[in-house]
Structure 1
Amino acid sequence: KWRGVKVLKFSLGFGPALFSVTRGETEYRVSWVPLGGYVQMAGDSPGPDGTMPGGENQFLSHPWYGRVLICLAGPAANLLTAFVVMVTVGLVGVSYPDYPNRLGAVPDTSVAYRAGLRPGDAITAVNSVPVKTWVQIFFTNSKQPRGKSVDVRVERGERSFVVPLAPEQREPFFSSLQRPAVPPVVGSVVTGMPAYKAGLKEGDWIVAVNGRPVTTWDELPRALRGTVDHPVRLRVKRAGREFDVVVTPINPDGRDSRNARIGIEPPYAGVFLEHHGLLESIDLGFRATVSMVGSVYGGLWLTISRPLYYREYVGGPLFIAQAASEQARRGLDAYLQFLAMINIAIMAFNLLPLPVLDGGHVLLALIEAVRRQSISARAYLTFQKVGLVVMGTLFVLILANDPLRLVQRQRALEKAPRGAAPAPTPTSHPAPRERPLAPAPP
């Protein structure tokens, strides 16, 4: 409208209208299929007689640069929305999986051992600031001035003592700290990943990987390393009964072929919430948005370059609803990050050079600019027809994936032992999304 183009319809979703209201010359509607949305402008395609529009308020009669601006406005709004959401995440607080402030293994070659720490010790204060959780230890140290000494208070049984650390000792000391080992219990299962389709459930205890016993969570990534695209037999304990589950790890980032993931996350004992000021949140939001854009385009390239491999991990409305529910259960920050990621994904999809999408219109406008000649109605219609076939195929594949994924999981669950509830876990907290201080989920 800012460019003087008449807008006929603004729709959230596709297909028949669920409800609509008309204001001026524009119909605003919510449609049945919740896969993005669209704007219908006057003159956005050739007329029935095969001629190109010529009116001043017609989209295709606008100069090429005007059409590019119009088509980039939507993706730009998605990008801006993602940035604002990520700034909000910083303000409301970023949650990290947390554990008790008690030490696990202390190797006799470590700086912590030489400082007098032993397994089972509890760190209760850093520079007289009380700490009660594992992440709080490192967070409090990071807030102390750089280049300054700090004192660490340690409790062992009924006695306590102070460990003084010179500035050059701080980083080696804190880097050498290890928390107690986490058992190989499934804290949560990521929707759509191999473990989800194989029927693994929250609370399952993984006893062995390909016959190799595992006793801690950290042993799982090592046991799965190098098994991408190869069936792996997991020995699982559920409600006191053991059985085998076959799962095929994938390589989600497409880089290191040894980076095998099945989509499970560990349990944790609590949550540490870190709040940021406005300026910090703006910086966090910018960096997080840039990272998300790279991640989304990386995933899009993998899907395009290896469609048969990655297509089953693409989801439609049902998958998005499941994932949104999963993130909401983990906390407000996880849910907001998911909304930001959805906005980036919509932006990336809309910029694909396909008809109907903004990227298709931008491509045609740029071709017109290079040729210095308008696209003929015949060429435009041919481009539209080819693109609609591609779009239709994509939508069918996306929509078909959702029920197929559920069927696969249900079949896997039916094969598992029946008649008992999931085995108890060491914690009642669901696992959050992968965080900087969390163990990497296999």
Structure 2
Amino acid sequence: MNVLWDIAAFIVAISILVTVHEFGHFWVARRLGVKVVRFSIGFGRPLFTWRGKDQVEYMVAALPFGGYVKMVDEREGDVPEAIRDRAFNRQPVTHRMAIVAAGPVANFLLAILLYAGMFMIGVQGIRPYVGPVSAGSAAAAAGVHERDLILSVNGIPVQTWEQARLTLLAQGISHANLMLKVRTLAGDIETRDIPTSGLGLLQHGDKVLQLIGLSVWRPSMPVIMKVMPGGAAASAGLESGDKVLEMNGKPVVSTSAWIASIQKHPGDRMSLIVERKDHRVTVSMTPWPKLIDGRARGFIDAQIGGILPQSVRTLLQTEVRYGPLQAFAQGARKTWEMTVLTLRVMGKLVVGQASVRNLSGPVTIAEYAGITAAIGLSAFLGFLAVVSLSLGVLNLLPVPVLDGGHLLYQTIELLRGRPLSEHAELIGQKIGLILLGVLMTLAFYNDISRLLT
């Protein structure tokens, strides 16, 4: 069922993005007087066709992985004398460049609109309170502590962990240092200087927090989900639903920390206070030792979960929401920041400084489409915006067969005063197809690797 949901969300997303991209070409071509013959969403066998009053054939085809706008062009066949001056190839080079560039531009404009819609609806997030800092990490060396609240990164304000992650990555791959402004637990505003050299952000950008040494502060109360018969938890009298409040007279502030404490103290008696059906109960428990990799570890033979106390939930939860004008301004800013980040990563990929594992194919995109659609409209709009601007950037790359390749040819024509020969264009298209094939192969390989792991 999840697969069908992912596929449906993916088809909806791609259909929207392709329609807007092709409409950009279509609209500018019509405005510049070029005769448009067909507007198609998808490739392959037509599913629906109709002819508009403008005599353009509109079509929805079976394969929703692209689309095209077919214009009258003497290079593709005979053109009647009556409309020859409206052929694409007869237009001034600047007009042809405008038509080609209109598709990617439409994707960038759509990204701004989508981000604006996302910000007007409101983006739910978690305030960037720092969790346990890894010992020996760059963050620890810079003096970052648990419960610090990140206010800005290199002067860029952040309100949620999602913003913080993206800003840390974007600033980390383009600057030698990350200047974190934080509010400490004592309420002081201080700056932490984290060097980025040697962190490997370009190779493992999806693990930016771990590479820096940060984690999300999410203290949870341990809850006994299930007690196994004959184990330490059962012998101590623990029951399903017990909430662990204290251990040896000290409050338990984290599920993970409590589990770690159990594992570190095999055979040591622990005095616990648990909440059971609105009553406090004192329990004495001794974790049983088991050898793991030659070392004794403590186990209690119980399934342990965690819940966030309401006070912590209220502290952490936040919503980023703007009015219409500010939402569009933030949408334009977000589109610019994400576009620059995408270009920087692509540039590092070309020179071998970034891992090709940053590439994602249709399988990963479909998965994220399904996840964000399930979360809600705001998340899905944000996903569409990212893919839309990525599509715009990809199509502007100077690779023949892409819009950027056509713009490259037309720029050369503008400078030389005459177009390249058909032979030169054909060679360029073959090279472009090979490069595109390699790119898609790597993306598919990454998709399959992620599924297998």
Match among 329, 337, 341 for residue 291 of structure 1: 337
Q: Secondary structure at the match of 1:374?
A: coil
Distance 2:42 2:337 in 1: 27
Superposed displacement of residue 361, structure 1:
1.3
Distance 1:61 1:55 in 2: 8
1:62–1:85 CA distance, 2 compared to 1 (3 A) = same
The answer to whether the aligner puts 1:377 opposite 2:407 as a matched pair is: no
Superposed displacement of residue 25, structure 1:
4.1
Match among 108, 111, 120 for residue 82 of structure 1: 111
The answer to whether the aligner puts 1:3 opposite 2:32 as a matched pair is: yes
Distance 1:57 1:26 in 2: 14
Superposed displacement of residue 181, structure 1:
5.4
Instruction: Letter of the 2:426 partner, please give it.
Output: L
Superposed, 1:155-166 pairs within 5 Å as none
Match among 41, 46, 50 for residue 71 of structure 2: 41
Superposed displacement of residue 58, structure 1:
2.0
Distance 1:55 1:171 in 2: 73
Distance 1:180 1:385 in 2: 52
Q: Secondary structure at the match of 1:323?
A: helix
Q: Secondary structure at the match of 1:55?
A: helix
Match among 307, 320, 325 for residue 274 of structure 1: 320
Superposed, 1:135-214 pairs within 5 Å as 173=187, 175=189, 182=219
Superposed displacement of residue 399, structure 1:
4.0
Superposed, 1:43-442 pairs within 5 Å as 43=73, 46-47=75-76, 55-97=84-126, 173=187, 175=189, 182=219, 269=313, 271-306=317-352, 309-310=355-356, 312-406=357-451, 408-409=452-453
1:299–1:41 CA distance, 2 compared to 1 (3 A) = farther
Superposed displacement of residue 280, structure 1:
2.1
Superposed displacement of residue 403, structure 1:
3.8
Superposed displacement of residue 366, structure 1:
0.7
**Corresponding residue number in structure 2 for 1:117:** none
Distance 1:328 1:317 in 2: 16
Distance 2:433 2:329 in 1: 40
**Greater helix share, 1 or 2?**
2
Cα deviation per residue 1:108-158 (whole Å; 9 max; x = unaligned)?
A: xxxxxxxxxxxx9xxxxxxxxxxxxxx89xxxxxxxxxxxxxxxxxxxxxx
Superposed displacement of residue 98, structure 1:
5.6
**Corresponding residue number in structure 2 for 1:226:** none
Q: Secondary structure at the match of 2:420?
A: coil
Instruction: Letter of the 2:93 partner, please give it.
Output: W
Distance 1:273 1:295 in 2: 24
Instruction: Letter of the 1:61 partner, please give it.
Output: R
1:303–1:6 CA distance, 2 compared to 1 (3 A) = farther
Distance 1:212 1:318 in 2: 41
Distance 2:353 2:41 in 1: 28
User: How many residues were matched structurally?
Assistant: 274
Cα deviation per residue 1:373-419 (whole Å; 9 max; x = unaligned)?
A: 2222222222223223333343344345434432x13xxxxxxxxxx
Instruction: Letter of the 1:6 partner, please give it.
Output: K
1:80–1:275 CA distance, 2 compared to 1 (3 A) = same
Q: Secondary structure at the match of 2:113?
A: helix
Superposed displacement of residue 172, structure 1:
7.5
Distance 1:30 1:329 in 2: 26
Q: Secondary structure at the match of 2:94?
A: helix
Distance 1:376 1:22 in 2: 36
The root-mean-square deviation of aligned C-alpha atoms, in Å, is 4.7
Instruction: Letter of the 2:389 partner, please give it.
Output: I
Q: Secondary structure at the match of 1:355?
A: coil
Instruction: Letter of the 1:356 partner, please give it.
Output: V
Instruction: Letter of the 2:348 partner, please give it.
Output: L
Instruction: Letter of the 1:299 partner, please give it.
Output: V
- Please tell me whether the aligned partners of residues 364 and 375 of structure 1 are also in contact (alpha carbons under 8 angstroms): yes
Q: Secondary structure at the match of 2:85?
A: coil
Distance 1:397 1:68 in 2: 30
- Please tell me whether the aligned partners of residues 345 and 354 of structure 2 are also in contact (alpha carbons under 8 angstroms): no
Distance 1:18 1:306 in 2: 43
Distance 2:63 2:103 in 1: 19
- Please tell me whether the aligned partners of residues 17 and 29 of structure 1 are also in contact (alpha carbons under 8 angstroms): yes
Stretch deviating more after TM superposition (357-366 or 17-26): 17-26
1:337–1:400 CA distance, 2 compared to 1 (3 A) = same
Q: Among the aligned pairs, what percent are the same residue?
A: 32
Instruction: Letter of the 2:381 partner, please give it.
Output: L
Superposed displacement of residue 313, structure 1:
3.8
Q: Secondary structure at the match of 2:399?
A: coil
Residue segments in structure 2 that go unaligned for 5+ positions in a row: 1-29, 133-146, 148-158, 161-182, 191-215, 223-254, 266-296
Distance 1:399 1:170 in 2: 44
Match among 19, 30, 33 for residue 60 of structure 2: 30
Kindly report structure 1 stretches of 4+ aligned residues shifted beyond 4 Å: 169-172, 204-208, 239-242
Distance 1:357 1:97 in 2: 39
**Corresponding residue number in structure 2 for 1:115:** none
What TM-score do the two structures reach when normalised by structure 1? 0.51
Distance 2:221 2:418 in 1: 64
- Please tell me whether the aligned partners of residues 372 and 379 of structure 2 are also in contact (alpha carbons under 8 angstroms): yes
Q: Secondary structure at the match of 1:173?
A: coil
Q: Secondary structure at the match of 1:321?
A: helix
Q: Secondary structure at the match of 2:346?
A: helix
Distance 1:99 1:68 in 2: 44
Q: Secondary structure at the match of 1:340?
A: helix
Q: Secondary structure at the match of 2:187?
A: helix
Larger Rg: 2
RCO higher in structure (CA 8 A, sep ≥6): 1
